[in-house]
Structure 1
Amino acid sequence: MADLRVTYDRQANAAYVYFSDPGVNVARCYPCDPVAVDGMINLDFDDQGCLVGIEVLDASSKLPRHLLSAAERIDHEAT
Structure 2
Amino acid sequence: MAEVKVTYDESTDAAYVYLTEPQARVPSARMYACDPAVVDGMINLDFDERGRLIGIEVLAAGSKLPEYLLKSAERLDTEGA
Where does residue 20 of structure 2 map in the other structure? 20
Identity %: 59
1:40 alignment partner, one of 42, 65, 68: 42
Task: Tell me by how many angstroms 1:13 deviates.
Answer: 0.1
> Partners of 1:78 and 1:13 in 2: how far apart?
12
Task: Tell me by how many angstroms 1:78 deviates.
Answer: 2.6
- Uncovered stretches (5+) of structure 2, i.e. residues with no partner: none
Mapping for residues 1-79 of structure 1, pairs under 5 Å: 1-21=1-21, 23-79=25-81
Please report the TM-score for the alignment, with normalisation by the length of structure 2: 0.93
Count of aligned pairs between the two proteins: 79
SS of 2:51's partner is coil
SS of 1:75's partner is coil
Please report the TM-score for the alignment, with normalisation by the length of structure 1: 0.95
Q: What residue identity is the alignment partner of 1:4? A: V
Structure 1 segments (4+ residues) deviating >6 Å? none
